Structure 1
Amino acid sequence: MTDDPTARQPGEPSDGSAWEQMLRQMFGEGADEALRQMREQGLDPAEMARASGLPDDPMLMNQVIAQVQRMLSSGGDGPVNWDVAHDMARQVAVTGGDPSLSPAELRQATEALGVAELWLDAATDLPPAGGSVRALSRSEWVERTLPTWRTLTEPVATSMSTALAATLADQLPESMELPPGLGAGGLDPAAMMRQLGALVFGMQVGQAAGSLSREVFGLTDAGLPLVAEPATALVPGNVAAFADGLDVPLDEVRLFLALREAAHARLFTHVTWLRGHLLAAVDAYARGITIDVESLEESVRAIDPTDPAALQGALSSGVFAPQTTPEQRAVLARLETALALVEGWVDEVVATAALPHLPHSVALREMIRRRRAAGGPAEQTFATLVGLELRPRRSRDAAALWARIAREQGAEARDAVWDHPDLLPTAEDLDDPAGYAGRRAAAEGEHADLDKALAEILGDDAAGGAGGASPAGDGTEGDGTEGDGPTGGEPTR
């Protein structure tokens, strides 16, 4: 028995803090001594857990303990601990139950997706996506989408973890002795901060992905294509939860959501540059984020670790939030326009396909619009994590523009706008849909004049070759963040 009054005696119940339990298992025999030293420095694990905003759930925390132990003994320096992210996401996904899908649920989901494809054939020239057609449990949704979360979150995690590690490490000694039970030798504080940062980011990514798995209806309705390969899927548990309480039959809700999933999949599959275009924009936005290191250092110095209220206030004040530059805001504006165009196209095509078949299609359309505009807790978590919101703010304007193009020029002309990123409508077009056709005609006229000038200078064959070299929209050229607006009219096709 130790003389330390703060140490937990054998058989004594803990204070219930999952974080303290985690630290005890991490430090093993040296746990009491390590916790005593933390408290002498004013660091209370229970208060730190409450200030962090992460769940104080023993079931969730116990899942990451083994990963934390491996983290402290490994030399990994990635910005996100993906083992922790995976385990946390799976645990959040199954909270409250995530039973295996029944044969009836599997059949109903696949049949609804099949019917949706038939109805969409009458509303768009884009063919079905192909690939797998299936129903997913929430855990299966996590497994299918987690690789894309890596693409979305690592750039901003890298920027923030580097700044946090540099700032906090300056306040620590050059080396620290490991507690008994964790081996001999010193520990580099900066390396420890990076590893702990990777742990925290892993837990946050897992929390966000797991929470989204409880809200989404398929693989695409989060706003971005979350799988690389062609596929359509429904999450029956979430579909049923959404339909519960609505004055609409579950079968009709399922069919409407299947239409949205299949329409998204057609767009992301056959507009070959679109997925890379959107993800590249997210990456460019995230990599350009900077941290206000001076404010961070000042805040860290000003924090009284013995005052939980002060610590919580600093964490929630925004001083740890990434700072965006004018360039980043411009990228964000183009990304939001592109997301609105995707959502607006799906909204319009699904409305056209559903109207002859689903009595409540108008009401369901409005419900989905409001749901996407408001966002949910998981989307808010993602906004905090990645630094941007995925809500298509101008989807109604985009839907109106797509409807106008189809009404004036036909559905084929509407879908042909997706031939290349240079053809996409701009924010100006969303402001003034009536002037879109005139602006597009003027841009095409300028392009024709350029072709004529090239023909006069280079000869017909050379000019034709130059025109034929325009990007074909295959995702290898022109899929960056600068292609959201017209840059020379329609490429030669």
Structure 2
Amino acid sequence: MTGASDMIDWDLAVRLGSRIATDGPKVTREEAEAAVEELRDDAARSTQLVRDFTGLEAPDGTAPVLVIDRKGWVQANADGFKTVLAPLVDKLTEKRPPSGAAKVIGRKITGAEVGGLLGFLCTKVLGQFDPFFSPAGRLLLVAPNIVHIERELGVDPTDFRLWVCLHEETHRVQFTANPWLRDHLFDQVGQLAGLTDAGSLLDDLVGRIAQVVRGDGPTGSLIDLVSTPEQREIFDRLTAVMSLLEGHADVVMDGVGPKVIPSVEHIRSKFTERRKGVGTLDRILRRLLGLDAKMAQYRDGATFVRHVVDALGMERFNTIWTGPDTLPTLAEIHDPEAWIQRVPGL
């Protein structure tokens, strides 16, 4: 982690991100304690519901569930970024080692940038599985955001909390039942670092931000501008994997939901509308950060999973978790029959 610490002031990032985060909705101590307890219970209940629906067997006692506030999410993701960015930062420092005043100033600038990013995102995330925390990972549930959204949407809190936990618990099961998945994702990040051109990275990022704010130039995210053709291949592989994971989780939460969540259709309708984003600034930041593409991952991945499960059944669909070679490509996410034809034994 030495390289990541040399280039990014993580303490500053956490302080700034936490300051931007605010505390969330107004709740009494009793309401807060009740929400935390209910989320813990719902996460535990969701484990068996996900197993029964998917057929995936995840070892018990792995990947702890943490119910946290926004500041806790900022700290957890700063820690996660250190791990994920380590190969990339090491590559950058190898090509252009920072020194003296430039090193000190650069650490502060990048720390502030990361802090601003974490501060924005921590108000949006309801839950998250962090696969890079220890070998098993951990599940994070952001209680203030869940309470805020259930109030904003006007949905039943008990139903909404279980619905969120079903989605996030599916991610925990995906990774703990298939430990190779974490290593595969980390390997892709390492390959990406090996193809990074440090010389133009900062200029490209600054220029992209200016274009999006003005409303001219390319309409994609920051990632679209800085990627070479080789990098794009890796991004496509990562996008395909994330589409599968998010789509699978959406299919599970909607498949299990009607049996245990009376108002699931109302929740899904309200939540789908909210995913479109609100306000000009929110839409700009979503475009910059690639969050619009994230929404497409939910939609495209769910369509892929439903098609394959309808065609083959859940047991044969689970062949997809065999290893990297059985994961769908990005083209196959949009053409499920191509995946069915490619994978042996289906």
TM range (shorter): 0.7 to 0.9
Q: 1:84 to 1:336 in 2, by over 3 A?
A: same
Task: Provide the secondary structure at the position in 1 that maps to 2:153.
Answer: coil
Q: Distance in 1 between matches of 2:91 and 2:339?
A: 39
- Counterpart of 1:413 in structure 2: which amino acid? R
Paired residue for 1:316? 210
Q: Distance in 2 between matches of 1:204 and 1:295?
A: 12
Deviations 1:159-211 (A, max 9, x none): 77899999xxxxxxxxxxxxxxxxxxxxxxx6212221111111111222233
Q: 1:295 to 1:204 in 2, by over 3 A?
A: closer
Paired residue for 2:77? 145
Task: Provide the secondary structure at the position in 1 that maps to 2:6.
Answer: coil
Q: Distance in 2 between matches of 1:334 and 1:375?
A: 30
Residue 347 (structure 1) aligned with residue 259 (structure 2): no
Q: Any conservation in 2 of the 1:116–1:262 contact (CA below 8 Å)?
A: yes
Q: Distance in 2 between matches of 1:400 and 1:137?
A: 33
Which of 40, 48, 56 pairs up with 1:126? 56
Superposition deviation, residue 346 in structure 1? 0.9
Paired residue for 2:35? 105
Q: Any conservation in 1 of the 2:126–2:141 contact (CA below 8 Å)?
A: yes
Q: 1:154 to 1:332 in 2, by over 3 A?
A: same
- Counterpart of 1:440 in structure 2: which amino acid? V
Deviations 1:336-383 (A, max 9, x none): 111101111111122111122223323434555565575997997698
Paired residue for 1:12? none
Q: Any conservation in 1 of the 2:24–2:144 contact (CA below 8 Å)?
A: no
Which of 101, 117, 121 pairs up with 1:208? 117
Residue range with higher mean Cα deviation, 358-367 or 416-425 = 358-367
Superposition deviation, residue 215 in structure 1? 2.0
Q: Any conservation in 1 of the 2:247–2:301 contact (CA below 8 Å)?
A: yes
Q: Which has the higher contact order (CA 8 A, sep 6+)?
A: 2
Task: Provide the secondary structure at the position in 2 that maps to 1:268.
Answer: helix
Paired residue for 2:308? 405
Q: Distance in 2 between matches of 1:226 and 1:368?
A: 28
Q: Distance in 2 between matches of 1:430 and 1:392?
A: 14
Task: Provide the secondary structure at the position in 1 that maps to 2:139.
Answer: strand
Superposition deviation, residue 267 in structure 1? 0.5
Q: Distance in 1 between matches of 2:202 and 2:293?
A: 28
Paired residue for 1:337? 240
* Larger relative helix fraction: 2
Q: Distance in 1 between matches of 2:202 and 2:80?
A: 32
Question: Is there any run of 5+ residues in structure 2 with no aligned partner, and where?
Answer: none
Residue 136 (structure 1) aligned with residue 68 (structure 2): yes
Paired residue for 2:19? 91
Q: Distance in 1 between matches of 2:242 and 2:277?
A: 15
Which of 157, 165, 179 pairs up with 1:258? 165
- Counterpart of 1:203 in structure 2: which amino acid? A
Q: 1:287 to 1:436 in 2, by over 3 A?
A: closer
Residue range with higher mean Cα deviation, 154-163 or 141-150 = 154-163
Task: Provide the secondary structure at the position in 2 that maps to 1:289.
Answer: coil
What are the equivalent positions in structure 2 for 1:94-493 lying under 5 Å apart?
A: 94=22, 102-128=32-58, 130-131=61-62, 132-154=64-86, 191-220=100-129, 225=131, 227-228=133-134, 229-291=136-198, 293=200, 316=210, 323-368=226-271, 391=294, 393-441=296-344
Q: Distance in 2 between matches of 1:273 and 1:204?
A: 32
Superposition deviation, residue 113 in structure 1? 1.3
- Counterpart of 1:206 in structure 2: which amino acid? G
Deviations 1:466-492 (A, max 9, x none): xxxxxxxxxxxxxxxxxxxxxxxx9xx
Deviations 1:43-74 (A, max 9, x none): xxxxxxxxxxxxxxxxxxxxxxxxxxxxxxxx
RMSD: 4.0
Q: Distance in 1 between matches of 2:26 and 2:94?
A: 37
Q: Distance in 1 between matches of 2:210 and 2:282?
A: 18
Q: Any conservation in 1 of the 2:239–2:330 contact (CA below 8 Å)?
A: no
Q: Distance in 2 between matches of 1:104 and 1:295?
A: 46
Identity %: 24
Q: Distance in 2 between matches of 1:295 and 1:112?
A: 43
Superposition deviation, residue 102 in structure 1? 3.8
Tell me the TM-score normalised to structure 1 length. 0.56
